[in-house]
Chains A and B, each alone.
Chain A
Amino acid sequence: MLENYLPILVFMGIGLLMGILPLALGMVIGPRRPDAAKNSPYECGFEAFEDSRMKFDVRFYLIAILFIIFDLEIAFLFPWAVALDTIGLYGLLAMGLFLGILVIGFIYEWKKGALEWE
């Protein structure tokens, strides 16, 4: 069974190569004429003031945290769905309870306005 994964490893290597090769080729074939204006970050013609890594909206962070909870949930659902026909009604009810708790949390964060963007 494990030897089935060898082609995947090879394919991943080739995938990386398909990224590196054109890049390297482009850097070799393309010209290189550096210039202070050309190499400065694009700011619609303005001089770049300072470092661009500024503070950003906390909501992006909130989305990332919510994502972890839900993605973990999906990670639990995957093996459950595969084994669904062997675990029967008990498995179904157990997952119903588990999903139910998640839904309560989801309703709570909805009511709290964690999903609002204006």
Chain B
Amino acid sequence: MQISAKITLLLTPLLLAVAYTTFAERKIIGYMQIRIGPNRVGPRGFLQPIADALKLLTKEVIVPTNANRYLFLTAPVLAIAPSLAAWAVVPFDDGMAIADINAGLLYILALTSLGVYGIIVAGWASNSRYALLGSLRSAAQIISYEIAMGFALVGVIMAAGSLNLGEIVEAQRGSVYHWFLLPLLPLFLVYFISGVAETNRAPFDVAEGESEIVAGFHVEYSGMAFAVFFLAEYANMILISALTALLFLGGWLSPLEGLLPQAAFALPVIGWVLDGGIHWFLAKTAFFLFLFLWFRATFPRYRYDQIMRLGWKVLIPVTIVWLFLEGVAVAFGLGPWFA
């Protein structure tokens, strides 16, 4: 079975990346706060995520008496399934996707929207005040930022003329200046900010604001049920980072393309490094992932009304205005981007 081989080849590194993102988060935030972070398990703490997984595995999965048992256990599955399934259409290199479909971006938008069900169901099924409040806040926040995110995606489709992620990357070929980062700068910012808000990460993490509502929607979860929620959150973070790299930073395209002479790319090993490829895509993804962690170490948490104001009164108007401008730019065939 070729499909299952491909899926294994994608899922194993992905799950490892998810596990080690939790480790990187603790290390990076540690160093930013002048601590050294976890350093006891294995050399320099590198076995920490494995120890965490084993510990959570041997803990009791508590189902509260008032909770709706089946929904309570379904919720984590609802959270993780879409965040993993969305990876099916992500291209790592030219044509290197599990499913190279025409409606790639639509599929991604649909699946990332499904993630909110896991949170709502978790909050409702727990039958706990904190969980219900957290899930309501979170659901309202996620759907608000989804609008801004959707409008930003429309801008990308207008510029690329395709929903296929591979073709969107190819539309940015030429040089660094052809990347959508430049002509769609406001949409890029809106997209990434919405991405941070969609994944309920700091500074938009009121859904699990531990200082007010303990842990929000997953307060009643323990053991592996909690771990699955955790994995879903980190898988979503990596997904948003990868998508930002694909849609605005030219995915696997090399930033040196069009700047260096052609001869440089013909060099034996150096040429391969300089030329576009999966390593550029991974580097760009890692950069955005680092931003997620950096934000958490740096920004204080937004208040809920500030979050809603930013989403509805800043990000949505910005995207609508930019869509109008982009429409005019497309009509006049402006610059190298919309010709």
Q: Taking beta carbons and an 8 Å cutoff, which residues of A are in contact with B?
A: 1, 4-8, 10-12, 14-16, 18-20, 22-23, 25-27, 29-33, 36, 38-44, 48, 51-54, 56-57, 59-60, 63-64, 67, 70-71, 74, 77-78, 81-82, 84-85, 89, 92, 95-96, 99, 103, 106, 110, 115-118
Chain A contacts for B313, CB-based, 8 A: 110, 115
Stretch at the interface among B22-30, B31-39, B96-104: B96-104
Known interface pairs A23-B228, A110-B313; A63-B143 also in contact (CB < 8 Å): yes
Known interface pairs A26-B59, A64-B143, A78-B154; A10-B101 also in contact (CB < 8 Å): no
Pairs across A and B, CB under 8 Å, 17 listed: A15-B82, A19-B79, A22-B227, A23-B76, A23-B77, A31-B60, A42-B220, A52-B132, A54-B129, A56-B132, A57-B136, A60-B136, A63-B308, A67-B147, A74-B147, A74-B151, A115-B308
What is the bound-complex CA distance between A18 and B62, given in angstroms?
20
Known: A52-B129, A77-B323, A117-B309. 9 other contacts (CB 8 A): A7-B99, A25-B224, A30-B57, A30-B223, A36-B65, A53-B132, A54-B129, A63-B143, A70-B147
Chain B contacts for A16, CB-based, 8 A: 77, 81
A81 to B158, Cβ gap below 8 A?
A: yes
A92 to B327, Cβ gap below 8 A?
A: yes
Chain A contacts for B126, CB-based, 8 A: 41
- Closest chain-A Cβ to B160's Cβ sits at a distance in Å of 9
Q: Taking beta carbons and an 8 Å cutoff, which residues of B are in contact with A?
A: 3-4, 6-7, 11, 15, 56-67, 73, 76-85, 87-89, 98-102, 106-107, 124, 126-133, 136, 139-140, 143-144, 146-147, 150-151, 153-154, 157-158, 161-163, 214, 219-220, 223-225, 227-228, 231, 304-305, 308-309, 312-313, 316, 320, 323-324, 327, 330-331
Which B residue's beta carbon lies closest to that of A30? B60
What is the bound-complex CA distance between A64 and B133, given in angstroms?
16
Which B residue's beta carbon lies closest to that of A114? B312
B56 to A77, Cβ gap below 8 A?
A: no
- Closest chain-B Cβ to A42's Cβ sits at a distance in Å of 5
Chain A contacts for B124, CB-based, 8 A: 53
- Closest chain-A Cβ to B163's Cβ sits at a distance in Å of 6
B224 to A26, Cβ gap below 8 A?
A: yes
- Closest chain-B Cβ to A98's Cβ sits at a distance in Å of 12
A77 to B73, Cβ gap below 8 A?
A: no
Closest 6 A/B residue pairs (Cβ) = A26-B224, A19-B77, A117-B305, A74-B150, A41-B128, A81-B157
